[in-house]
Amino acid sequence: MKALVYEEYAPDDNYARILKIKEVPDPKPRSHEVVFKVNVAGLNHDDIWGMRGRPLQIPLPHISGTDAAGEVTAVGEDVTTVKIGDRVVSHGNLSCRVCTACTDGREYDCRTRKIWGFQTGPLWGGYCEYAHLPEVNVVKIPENVSCEEAAASSMVMVTSWHMLIGRAKIKPGQTVLIMGGASGMGTFGIQIAKLYGCDVIATASQNKLDDCLKLGADFAVDHRKEDWDKEVFTITKDLAKKKGAKPGVDVVYEHIGGSHWNKELALLKYGATIVTTGATTGYDVQTDLRHIFFKGINVLGSTQGTRSELVDGLYWLSQGKIKAIIDSIHTFENAAEAHTKMLKGNLVGKILMRPN
């Protein structure tokens, strides 16, 4: 089969130099595995970390791709819930399923967990014609959800769902601040918070504010402005008047890091929550501890989510209550351009690729 392969790293982000379309052996399912013909796969930032060879050196030769969707073509003899012809999407969180964390319902805390297409290999990811995964790492795609929507959702939707529902436990009527509202993470953050009846303030750069509002955000603020936090606080004051509550934010949805962190802490109400899953603009943040102890702030970390949360998210996609936002669809031939576009961040939603 055809696969998008690299055999060396590109720390200079020159992906065109390393990405090659190659013939590799077709996978045969092991007894607990499913093989599916990849219709389309979604790009994630872990593709870039893999190609750079840092922060960790992933196995070479490598096939990236954590979010793949397509039709099942073969199943192992022990597979019971999926059959040939089913449409499936990957749940790229490969955990052991027997350790204390896994059996406690926290597969994301499994110490032997690997992200498929990032840490797996050699030659084991979703950018190929036929992908293979354990049965537990695929989820059937509901009838009225396309492969494109499923591939554009899997990793970011489960991560967003887990942050807001699993960790922050948002409730109707709360004020939720979604940072980076136009990114893959942000587009789901806005929609999930609205699905749960929250008032949503999203931040984005100026040219993407309308995209946030179209997704359902009640307010959108340009986070590149120096005093973006003051604008958010003014909005919460108006909301507080309506609700007869105190101004401030109940939950901050954080995946940006960098210089915004301390301002986010300052915006939180007493007893409120900040949940964080990333640090795309910097991890070494300044924290004014007074915000945390005096206001009794909950600082929650979050990584990916559970298979069951992915099933929940796919259900709401099928009900039309959440949409997958697709920026563009490419082929393996222009994979380097697609990844460069993601790196530069000039996009709204997810970038996808097809093998053909």
Question: Which pair of tokens denotes residue 276?
Answer: 């964080």
List the Cα angle 347/230/187 in 5-degree steps: 25
Least separation, in Å, of the C-beta of 97 and Zn ion? 6
Nearer to Zn ion, 102 or 347 (CB): 102
Q: Specify the DSSP class assigned to residue 249.
A: E
- Burial readout 107-146 (b: 16 or more C-beta within 10 A, e: otherwise): bbebeebbbbbbbbbebbbbbbbbbbbbbbbbbbbbeebb
Q: Which residues pair with 254 in a beta bridge?
A: 276
Least separation, in Å, of the C-beta of 102 and Zn ion? 3
φ/ψ of residue 185, rounded to 5: -65, -45
Least separation, in Å, of the C-beta of 99 and Zn ion? 3
Least separation, in Å, of the C-beta of 193 and Zn ion? 30
Q: How far is CA 253 from the centre of its chain?
A: 13
Nearer to Zn ion, 110 or 131 (CB): 110
Nearer to Zn ion, 108 or 127 (CB): 108
Nearer to Zn ion, 120 or 183 (CB): 120
Give the Cα separation of 261 and 251 in Å (integer).
Answer: 13
Max intra-chain CA distance, the chain: 64
Nearer to Zn ion, 44 or 95 (CB): 95
Q: Under rule CB under 5 A, which residues in 126-185 are in contact with Zn ion?
A: none
Least separation, in Å, of the C-beta of 118 and Zn ion? 17
Least separation, in Å, of the C-beta of 106 and Zn ion? 9
Are residues 125 and 59 in contact, defined by beta-carbon separation less than 8 angstroms?
Answer: no
List the Cα angle 55/223/249 in 5-degree steps: 95
Least separation, in Å, of the C-beta of 110 and Zn ion? 3
Told to check if 88 binds Zn ion by CB under 5 A, we report no
Reference 64, options 16, 4, 24; nearest CA is 4
Least separation, in Å, of the C-beta of 111 and Zn ion? 7
Q: Under rule CB under 5 A, which residues in 89-128 are in contact with Zn ion?
A: 95-96, 99, 102, 110
Which residue is nearest to Zn ion, using beta carbons? Answer: 110
Q: How many residues bind Zn ion (CB under 5 A)?
A: 5
Reference 267, options 225, 232, 217; nearest CA is 232
Nearer to Zn ion, 96 or 300 (CB): 96
Least separation, in Å, of the C-beta of 98 and Zn ion? 6
Q: Which CA distances in Å does 167 have to 62, 94, 106?
A: 33, 20, 11
Write the CB contacts of 353 (distance below 8 Å, at least 6 apart in sequence).
4, 40, 41, 43, 127, 329, 330, 331, 332, 335, 338
Question: Which pair of tokens denotes residue 90?
Answer: 């990957």
Least separation, in Å, of the C-beta of 92 and Zn ion? 15
Q: Under rule CB under 5 A, which residues in 17-46 are in contact with Zn ion?
A: none
Nearer to Zn ion, 15 or 108 (CB): 108
Nearer to Zn ion, 90 or 95 (CB): 95
Nearer to Zn ion, 81 or 100 (CB): 100
Nearer to Zn ion, 96 or 343 (CB): 96
Write the CB contacts of 327 (distance below 8 Å, at least 6 apart in sequence).
341, 347, 348, 349, 350, 351
Which spans of this chain sit near Zn ion (rule: CB under 5 A)?
Answer: 95-96, 99, 102, 110
